[in-house]
Structure 1
Amino acid sequence: MPELAGVELTVGSKDFSEQLVLAYLAEFALSAAGAKVRDLSNIAGSNSGRDALVTGQVDLMWEYTGTGWISYLGKEDPIPDDAAQFEAVRKEDLARNGIVWSLMAPLNNTYAFAMSRKNAERLGIRTMSELAKLVKEQPQEGTFCLESEFASRNDGMPGVQKTYGFEPAPGNVKLLGIGPIYQAVANGGTCNFGEIFTTDGRVLALDLVVLADDRNFFPRYNASVTLRKETAAAHPQITEVLRPVAAKLTNEVVLKLNAEVDVDGKDPAEVARDWLVREGFVRLP
């Protein structure tokens, strides 16, 4: 990409594995296109990462549509459609803050409920509506492990119960940290159902079954490339380079990449580079 030759670009990210992998994917792809890329990944906290983008400390970073809509634009009601949510965030963030949302990946890192495969087969459920029916008919099976924040937020358990019309029996909700929830669900003793994130590598590693949100309650959190409008206008080739990469980032792909980091202990940069090479986006010297 001759137009990017020698162009200095700083890529930022938040401080968890998926964000680190996404940042390195952008960095390696843009470097291969000729840009001089500076790594400013691993910024602690969503607001700090956003501030770094807005103030020009970083030129681009991957962000999530639900985070943009709810946290940065202050909206209370998410839009239950990936493309419509992206378009709404894109228009308003550009008008209000001069931030361009240039690409949206299929990857949707949102909340969900999961159960062990053994329990899924035993209880015969695959959707949240079936879960609600189970809780009503067999309340002793409706045991949940949740984070304390998720247990009280409108886009968490209270909203789930309202949307799907069920209420766990007293004592059937246990509050745990997000890490222990995955293991508790996999073991199936403490709880049959647990709050998880759809692209967390532990879903794959522990062979958890994710229940379909068949009433589209949970907000959409599609990963998207964001950059300031000045950067987007000066270097439209950034979008050209990253478009085919973003298009291949499905939940299934990113689950495996996250698992390589969080379960296998690989370095996020190595995971990102190897995937780009396997997919033919980058050639090693």
Structure 2
Amino acid sequence: MKAFRTVAAGAAFVLALGGCGLGTSGGFVPTGSLSGPLTSVRDLDGLTIGIGSKSFQEQLILGKIAAILMQSAGAEVKDLTNMPGSDTSRQAMLGGQIQMAWEYTGTAWISYLGHDTGIPDKKKQYDAVRQEDEQKYGLIWLDPAPMNNSYGFAVTRKNSERLGLTKMSQFGSVPAKDRTFCVESEFANRNDGFEPMLKHYGVPLGSAVPRDNIRTLDTGAVYAATDKGDCLFGEIFTTDGRIKSLDLVVLEDDKSYFPAYNVAPVVAKKVLDEYPQLRELLKPVSDKLTDEVLIELNSEVDVDGREPADVAMDWLVKEGFVIRD
């Protein structure tokens, strides 16, 4: 939602994209006709736009939603979803290889714009990111979705009940040898990630939490490892469908470590200036993207094994935004 690579690695990937002519990396994008509240949106004939995303399931679904909408409105879409890591996607946007992506307010504020701490208030966090990213980089943040895909930690329901674990301030209530964590690689390396979080909650890595107690896994493997008991605490994204399917208990971030991570469409200014109707196209859809909706859509990919493009298209049709051709 998220491995944070070095800038050099991200730039190298962008150069590789440029060298291969920006070939499609994201696969098939369905097309339909705009309907319902989008019927009156002016078409996007003449627009060629690269749409990017990171490589986890929620980003793939959101990227496909944008690609389907714009293609159905007449744009020529270059599907560059499924990029490996936050920095790669960001560098592709800054370098002009993509012109649109869905981004998270907390990620941009801390990891991209270099601030040490996030802003807990969702609106203040969005407003601060929107203003700074436009001023510095000419990137326009459209209206955010209600959903807030923050990081979190979860335990199995059995362990929650057995140990009385309901909040993150209880990390220190279990013996040090049992403070075992499963985390994914990006969170383990972010400057708003794992090690600062442990320090914030009074269990510093290397002393209160032995380094041998940490397992770094792919995102999907974290959920399975937590469920199987390979670690006590598993890093999760709060809109992930596997929380529901595995009956995990999400611990309360009771010391407010994690900033707001509302998602919003981010579009290059020069593109939005020429095609201002992109605001009208994306806003009604973005407004529907609640936590509950994303948990269900994510579950269809992660639990049911469906393709993100099919999940995105079915949801757009169900909500009346698109009619299948």
TM bin (shorter chain)? 0.7 to 0.9
* 1:6 pairs with one of 38, 41, 45: 45
Is 1:64 aligned to 2:101, yes or no?
A: no
Is 1:55 equivalent to 2:95 in the alignment? yes
Task: Provide structure 1 residue ranges, at least 5 long, that are not aligned to the other structure.
Answer: none
User: What's the TM-score once normalised by structure 2's chain length?
Assistant: 0.76
Specify the alignment match of 1:186 in structure 2: 227
Give the Cα–Cα distance (whole angstroms) in 1 for the partners of residues 299 and 240 of structure 2.
7
Aligned 8 A contact 1:9 1:38 in 2? yes
Distance 1:193-1:37 versus aligned 2 partners, 3 A rule = same
In the TM superposition, what are the counterparts of 1:34-183 in structure 2 within 5 Å? 34-129=74-169, 131-132=170-171, 135-136=172-173, 138-139=174-175, 143-147=179-183, 150=187, 155-166=192-203, 168=208, 173-178=213-218, 179-183=220-224
Instruction: Kindly indicate whether the alpha-carbon contact (under 8 Å) linking 2:151 and 2:258 is maintained by their aligned counterparts in 1.
Output: yes
Equivalent residue letter for 2:179: T
Q: 1:116-150 deviations in whole A, cap 9, x for unaligned?
A: 12222333443223x24xx33x5379532233865
TM-aligned CA deviation for residue 170 of structure 1:
5.4
Q: 1:248 to 1:124 in 2, by over 3 A?
A: farther
Q: 1:264: which partner in 2?
A: 304
- The answer as to whether partners of 2:240 and 2:295 remain within 8 angstroms in 1 is yes
CA RMSD in angstroms comes to: 2.6
Q: Secondary structure at the match of 2:243?
A: helix
State how far apart, in whole Å, the 2-side matches of 1:15 and 1:60 are.
Answer: 15
Match of 2:256 in 1: 216
Question: Which residue does the alignment assign to 1:204?
Answer: 244
> Whole-Å Cα distance in 2 between the matches of residues 152 and 40 of structure 1?
24
Cα deviation 1:184-242 (Å, max 9, x = unaligned): 32123x33222222233322332211112122201332211111111122222111111
Alpha-carbon distance between aligned partners in 1 of 2:119 and 2:195, rounded to the nearest angstrom = 18
The structural deviation recorded for 1:160 is 3.0
Number of positions where the alignment pairs a residue of Structure 1 with one of Structure 2: 280
Distance 1:143 1:41, change over 3 A: same
TM-score (norm 1): 0.86
Unaligned runs of 5+ in 2: 1-39
Q: Is the deviation greater in 264-273 or in 154-163?
A: 154-163
Structure 1 stretches of 4+ with a deviation exceeding 6 A read none
Quote the offset at 1:82 in angstroms: 1.8
Q: 1:141 to 1:126 in 2, by over 3 A?
A: farther
More off after superposition, 85-94 vs 209-218:
209-218
Contact 2:103 2:266 (C-alpha < 8 Å) held by counterparts: yes
- Percent sequence identity over aligned pairs: 47
Distance in 2, matches of 1:215 and 1:169, equals 18
